[in-house]
Amino acid sequence: MTLTQGPDIGLAPTGIDPYLFRGLLQRVAVAVAVVTTPSGPDLPSAGFTATSFTSVSVRPQLVSFCVDTCSASWPAVQCASYVAIHLLRAGQAQIARTFAAQGTDPLADTSTWLPGVYRLPILRDVLATLVCEVAARNPVGDHAVVLARPVFGRHEDGDPLLYHMGRYQRLAIGGE
């Protein structure tokens, strides 16, 4: 199958070359979020860096993020009735790295967060925080798409931390 008449740009009916797929996705500039889950009787709080956060619907209000069902965070997300989604500020790449690291507890440093509503860890000094009720968890491939309804939110002024071409970046202001 060809996408256009002319040079073959690599569209295949059942997927594209994995390096091409990765290269395409790297070109999407995205905000960096950290998702945290509540502490419960059987599971401690968890948290992970996510660039899959996006808005889904205005009426009703719904947002989504995706979580790898093989990740250490998945059991906590699977059980959670509420999650907190934090948008990081430009300059907070170290927080993103901490919450993306494997085999460590990103919440071990208790000076970086406060215990919040629904036993959720709320990160300090971030650009925005959205506490959401989990509305649905839909397994799709190796991830689950989590749909969530905002119940509390706050935001500050400032620039977001972005991820683009495999690197943490900041907005270059000016131009269209």
Choice between 6 and 112, CB closer to ligand FMN: 112
**Is residue 68 a contact point for ligand FMN (CB under 6 A)?**
yes
17 contacts 9 by C-beta, under 8 angstroms: no
Distance in Å, CB of 46 to ligand FMN, minimum: 8
167 contacts 139 by C-beta, under 8 angstroms: no
**Is residue 50 a contact point for ligand FMN (CB under 6 A)?**
yes
Using CB under 6 A, which of the segments 2-10, 16-24, 45-53, 56-64 binds ligand FMN? 45-53
Please enumerate in sequence order all residues whose Cβ is within 8 A of that of 85, keeping only pairs 6 or more positions apart, or say none. 33, 34, 35, 50, 53, 63, 65, 129, 130, 131, 132, 148
Cross-strand partners of 109: none
| 93: helix, strand or coil | helix
In this structure, the number of other CB atoms found within 10 A of the CB of residue 116 comes to 17
**Is residue 102 a contact point for ligand FMN (CB under 6 A)?**
yes
Distance in Å, CB of 37 to ligand FMN, minimum: 12
Choice between 102 and 111, CB closer to ligand FMN: 102
**Is residue 90 a contact point for ligand FMN (CB under 6 A)?**
no
Amino acid identity, residue 167? R
**Is residue 66 a contact point for ligand FMN (CB under 6 A)?**
yes
Distance in Å, CB of 87 to ligand FMN, minimum: 13
In this structure, the number of other CB atoms found within 10 A of the CB of residue 127 comes to 21
**Is residue 163 a contact point for ligand FMN (CB under 6 A)?**
yes
Rounded CA-CA distance 132/77 in Å is: 12
Using CB under 6 A, which of the segments 1-9, 42-50, 86-94, 145-153 binds ligand FMN? 42-50
Rounded CA-CA distance 104/48 in Å is: 11
Chain residues in the site for ligand FMN (CB under 6 A): 48-52, 65-68, 71-73, 99-100, 102, 163
